[in-house]
Amino acid sequence: AYSCVYYLSYCCLVSSQCFFIELSQLNVLMKLSSVCETKFHYQDKITPVNYAIHLACNMQVYPPRDWLVGSSLPSKFSPGTIQMVLEELSIDNVRIFWKSKKFEGHTDKVEPWYGTAYSVDKVTPSMIEEWMLCAVNDNLHLPAPNVFIPTDLSLKDAQEMVKFPVLLRKSSCSRVWYKSDTMFSTPKAYVKIDFNCPHAGNSPEAHVLTDIFTRLLMDYLNEYAYYAKVAGLYYGIKRNAYGFQVTLKGYNDKLRTLLETVLGKIARFKVKPERFFVIKETLTKEYQNFKFQQPYQQAMYYCSLLLEDHKWPWMEELDILLHLEAEDLAKFAPELLSRAFLECYIAGNIQTSEAESMVQYIEDVFFSGPNSACKPLFPSQHVTNRVVKLERGTSYFYPAEGLNPDDENSALVHYIQVHRDDFLLNVKLQLFALIAKQSAFHQLRSVEQLGYITSLWQRNDSGIYGVLIIIQSTVKGPGHIDLRVEAFLKTFESKLHEMTSDEFKSNVNALIDMKLEKHKNLNEESGFFWREIRDGTLKFDRKELEVAALRQLTQQELIDFFNDHIKVGAPQRKSLSIGVYGNLHSSEYTADKSGPVHYSVKIDDIFSFRRSQPLYGSFRGVSDHVN
């Protein structure tokens, strides 16, 4: 570890000689200037509040003429200024921070806030002498030429002024959705590729191994991270419920180069044991820290575990993770890729021929040749997203002890499942949530002061819609809080009846305005359309049709919806309450778990419950139903 410190300090000693020679070359500045100007002139539009914050920060640092620009654009080339800065990087003013478990038991100070042990030592003349004797390190150099920097920023003519994505191509290996940029006029593109792999989620072990697989790929790609970021490109690989997902976005000119780089790493994946164990240690800590999540987050996790048909418990995944070796991943990776279907979305400043060429390249890499990594899925293997269908007129309750015995907080998640994706029911639920959100916060948090964390919002599980009320509290246990939630819903009924026509119209118009707000940039637009593709709903004109439904909606229809689906005791109401009990309410947990409760069904075992329930149909893996 000392060699790292020597190396860093030695960098300071040689920087004024080595770096100045390189930086004095004007071509370096010209490259830097070009990249900065491109980034400044083609920056994405952001929300007004974030833009105001950005400007306010600039106003504290820069003179008025630079408030908009800040440090985005380089100033004139000044060798003297660069030399002055480099000369400050000397051994006389270096300060090194070094964190390591090796110092345990060898420190003499403790900081007062978190009790962290530390020491402060001076750099000795002998250390300086040893650093001075070091030879120049060949790794100390400027970055190599950046192949990702765009050179063509021209805007391409859209062949069709389409408003929504179109199905560009479909084969046994892939399906490609395409949307040209007709709104933002920037030389950027967005590519999303879902590798739907049935072997990725068929067991907790496969789920964990897929996670390590994607993290290792990101680790291997670190050598390109700096170059891509400087050039305004982004890439990401992460596990999802169906396999793993690749995301690429940024300037379209060199996006194909980045695509080939990322896909090459996937196709030629090999396990490096030393990196495997680093990733395994990181992931293990994440799992072990799960018990320190806030109680409301634990309750949300149990809600997903109860409702989602293919979700694995974290304790099982942790148990498996602890015993995994590099050889396990080496055996699993070929199996993971052995069968796959690629769901692709390509949007932005890209023509249809380029999009088709991209996808053909992807298929050639993974599906072509006798030794190809992938084969198409059989019809029976297409992945689905099934959600438990709660029984009408039934209230379910699942109690659980908080995972952190030192946490005093308890939490309640009160979930009301309403319907499968339907435009009219969607807007009724959205309007109810908009009106009820402020009232719930005022009554349950401000008036009754049940807990600092109090919220009401909608939940969408792969096209199955409902509403959640979340409260975290030290004041009362989950059982009492749930009673207060139901009491609030009973009083809210009168609010709906007493609402004036003008108030109703005002709420409807507010929701319409939210839906008609335009996407601010390509990423935001692509995220909206991708959610439709990911869930399998494919209703790209959702906003327009929901606005049309809102314009026709009456106050009485909203009241009828509340009476049918939300009202306590309604014959069609389906509710699920999850209580997480903190240490202040442990006695209540014992009583609520063993004693009688006012719910129709008390859930003792999550997986017995899940296996016994009917499921909603899946939007994924069925015939196309494109709007």
Instruction: Please say whether the beta carbons of 179 and 199 come within 8 A.
Output: no
Model pLDDT, residue 88? 85
Domain boundaries, the chain: 2-132, 166-381, 394-612
Contacts of 244 (CB under 8 A, 6+ apart): 195, 197, 200, 210, 213, 214, 237, 238
Rounded Cα gap, residues 377 and 198, in angstroms: 8
Instruction: Give me the pLDDT at residue 41, please.
Output: 87
The rounded Cα 436 to chain-centroid distance in angstroms is 27
Q: What is the pLDDT of residue 139?
A: 77
What pLDDT digit, counting tens, does each position of 456-491 carry? 999 999 999 999 999 999 999 999 999 999 999 999
**Cα 491 to the center of its chain, rounded Å:** 37
CA 521, CA 51: separation in Å to the nearest integer? 14
Among the residue ranges 57-71, 193-207, 512-526, the one predicted with the least confidence is 57-71
Per-residue pLDDT band for 124 (boundaries 50, 70, 90) equals confident
How high is the pLDDT of residue 74? 74
Confidence (pLDDT) at 269: 97
Which residue(s) pair with 244 in the sheet? 195, 239
Q: Average pLDDT for residues 325-350, to the nearest whole number?
A: 97
| Residue 4 clears pLDDT 60, i.e. is over it | no
Q: What angle do CA 531, 536, 540 make, to 5 degrees?
A: 60
Helix (H) / strand (E) element for 464: namely: strand 464-473
Tell me the C-alpha distance between 415 and 548, whole Å: 28
Q: Which residues fall within 8 angstroms of residue 577, CB to CB, at 6 or more apart?
A: 395, 396, 397, 398, 412, 413, 414, 415, 478, 482, 599
580-589 average pLDDT score:
94
The model's pLDDT over 354-397, given as tens digits with 9 standing for 90+, comes to 999 999 999 999 999 778 899 999 999 998 999 999 999 999 99
Strands 464-473 and 410-420: antiparallel
Confidence at 599, pLDDT banded by 50, 70, 90: confident
177 pLDDT higher than 50: yes
Of the pLDDT bands very low, low, confident and very high (cuts 50, 70, 90), residue 26 is low
Question: Span 533-556, mean pLDDT?
Answer: 96
Cα separation values, 540 from 169, 170, 306, 547, Å: 17, 18, 29, 13
Judged by average pLDDT, the poorest of 60-64, 559-563, 622-626 is 622-626
* Residue 39: per-residue pLDDT: 87
Evaluate whether 165 touches 248 at the Cβ level (below 8 Å): no
Q: Number of helices and strands (H, E) in the chain?
A: 21, 14
Q: Which CATH class is domain 2-132?
A: alpha beta
The answer to whether the CB of 490 falls within 8 A of the CB of 573 is no
pLDDT value at 238 more than 70:
yes
Architecture of the 166-381 domain: 2-Layer Sandwich (3.30)
| Domains 2-132 and 394-612 alike in fold | yes
Show the 3-state SS of 189-249: EEEEEEEECHHHCCCHHHHHHHHHHHHHHHHHCHHHHHHHHHCCEEEEEEEECCEEEEEEE
In this predicted structure, the answer to whether residue 12 has a pLDDT above a threshold of 60 is no
Predicted structure pTM score: 0.88
Of all residues in the chain, what percent carry a pLDDT higher than 90?
76
Mean pLDDT of the chain: 91
- The rounded distance, in Å, linking the Cα atoms of 84 and 76 is 15
What one-letter code names the amino acid at 457?
W
With a cut of 50, say whether residue 627 has pLDDT above it. no
DSSP states along 390-417: PPTTEEEEEEEE-S-TT---EEEEEEEE
Provide the pLDDT for residue 386: 95
Residues 440, 446, 449, 451, CA torsion sign: positive
Instruction: Note the pLDDT of residue 128.
Output: 81
From 38-42, 156-160, 528-532, the region with the lowest mean pLDDT:
156-160
Strand partners, 396: 576, 601
Q: What is each CA distance from 56 to 50, 66, 141, 377, 425, in whole angstroms?
A: 10, 12, 36, 53, 43
User: What number does CATH give the domain 394-612?
Assistant: 3.30.830.10
